[in-house]
């Protein structure tokens, strides 16, 4: 029972990261059919924003020393700003381009961001002490669970509820959902394209910042590559969930997180190093089974 609880928390906290990532990618895909490969670099950028530029091995914490109450909004704002800026400077000019061109443009942008960080900070991972008091454990029903996991899951749930409320209850949210389903029709009803797209980028950037903060706290390191793996899984989750479906992306994120943790537990010892091969194999099986995604909205079928 306690072991089961531990597995559950492992799965939920890993799934949380994937779900937040998938949401960030799905939001932008929904409104402009862009698979944003720069998303992982937004995550890294937000984490590096905690530091003062230096190529030394030791991290010089700068913004990271601010009180939490200022720090979190600041990093979220940086994520949103970076994301919106990339839409204004780059993606806006690709609105009518084909998906492959947009995808490569986003990859090139990510490459630029990555190498910009590399220039300022060097490629060596640095250790950072961010809210390290959260690494203690708490006891839940007899199981010892890292406090950070509990917080990660809680934050994710709060973000999901807040975002749902935003999408369901506000005018902007209504416009975003409509735009995600049929952008041209939404525009013909007076929904302003630029505003909706910029809003999607802003929220996506904030989600990237949130992931960055969680990752930095969990691992205690800052690394250029740190957003990459989350982004790739998130990208997969977006497709498995059904492109254009935000709840689908979130659920698929949790599913992949759960599958990874579960395989780690149930695979025989000698097969464990190959865990990810099984996870990706499951992804392929899933795509063959439901090519349009597990939770594809009916209207999205013919478009992909």
**Would you say 118 or 266 has its CB closer to another protein?**
118
Asked whether 43 and 231 are in contact (CB, 8 A), the reply is yes
**Would you say 117 or 159 has its CB closer to another protein?**
117
Asked whether 24 and 160 are in contact (CB, 8 A), the reply is no
| Residue partners of 40: CB distance under 8 A and separation at least 6 | 110, 227, 228, 230, 231, 232
Asked whether 22 and 237 are in contact (CB, 8 A), the reply is yes
- Name the segment binding another protein (CB under 8 A); options: 66-74, 131-139, 145-153, 285-293: 285-293
Task: Restricting to residues 180-219, name those near another protein by CB under 8 A.
Answer: 181-182, 184-193
Site string for another protein, 119-158 (x = CB under 8 A): x---------------------------------------
Determine, following the binding rule CB under 8 A, whether residue 273 of this chain makes contact with another protein: yes
- Residue from 177, 265, 267, 294 touching another protein (CB under 8 A): that is 177
Burial class (CB in 10 A: 0-12, 13-18, 19+), 224: buried
Determine, following the binding rule CB under 8 A, whether residue 171 of this chain makes contact with another protein: yes
**Would you say 62 or 280 has its CB closer to another protein?**
280
Determine, following the binding rule CB under 8 A, whether residue 170 of this chain makes contact with another protein: no
Task: Restricting to residues 223-252, name those near another protein by CB under 8 A.
Answer: 228, 232, 235-236, 239-240, 243
Burial class (CB in 10 A: 0-12, 13-18, 19+), 5: middle
Determine, following the binding rule CB under 8 A, whether residue 257 of this chain makes contact with another protein: no
72 phi, psi to nearest 5 deg? -60, -50
DSSP 112-144: HHHHHHHHHH-SS-EE--SSGGGGSEEEETTEE
Give the CA dihedral 10, 16, 22, 28, nearest 10 degrees.
-170
Least distance from another protein to the Cβ atom of residue 61, Å: 23
Contact residues for another protein, defined by CB under 8 A: 35, 37, 90, 93-94, 96-101, 103-105, 107-109, 111-112, 114-116, 118-119, 171, 174-175, 177-178, 181-182, 184-193, 228, 232, 235-236, 239-240, 243, 273-277, 280-281, 283-284, 287-288, 291-293, 297-299, 304
């Amino acid at each position: 029972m306690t072991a089961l609880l531990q597995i559950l928390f492992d799965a939920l906290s890993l799934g949380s990261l994937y779900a937040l990532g998938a949401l960030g990618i799905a939001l932008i895909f929904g409104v402009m059919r862009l698979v944003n490969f720069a998303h992982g670099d937004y995550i890294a950028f937000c984490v590096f924003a905690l530091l003062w530029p230096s190529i030394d091995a030791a991290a010089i914490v700068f913004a990271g020393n601010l009180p939490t109450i200022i720090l979190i909004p600041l990093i979220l704002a940086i994520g949103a700003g970076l994301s919106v800026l990339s839409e204004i400077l780059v993606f806006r000019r690709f609105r009518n381009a084909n998906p492959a061109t947009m995808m490569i443009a986003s990859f090139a942008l990510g490459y630029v961001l990555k190498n910009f960080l590399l220039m300022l900070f060097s490629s060596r991972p640095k250790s950072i002490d961010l809210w390290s008091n959260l690494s203690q454990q708490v006891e839940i029903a007899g199981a010892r669970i890292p406090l950070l996991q509990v917080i990660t899951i809680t934050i994710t749930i709060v973000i999901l509820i807040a975002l749902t409320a935003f999408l369901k209850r506000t005018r902007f949210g209504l416009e975003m959902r409509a735009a995600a389903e049929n952008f041209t029709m939404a525009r013909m009803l007076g929904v302003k394209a630029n505003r909706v797209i910029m809003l999607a980028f802003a929220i996506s950037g904030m989600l990237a910042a949130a992931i960055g903060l969680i990752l930095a706290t969990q691992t205690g390191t800052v690394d250029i590559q740190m957003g990459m793996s989350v982004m790739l899984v998130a990208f997969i989750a977006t497709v498995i969930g059904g492109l254009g479906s935000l709840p689908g992306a979130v659920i698929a994120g949790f599913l992949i997180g759960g599958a990874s943790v579960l395989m780690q537990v149930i695979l025989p010892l000698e097969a464990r190093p190959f865990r990810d091969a099984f996870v990706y194999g499951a992804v392929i099986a899933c795509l063959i089974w439901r090519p349009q995604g597990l939770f594809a909205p009916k209207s999205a079928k013919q478009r992909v």
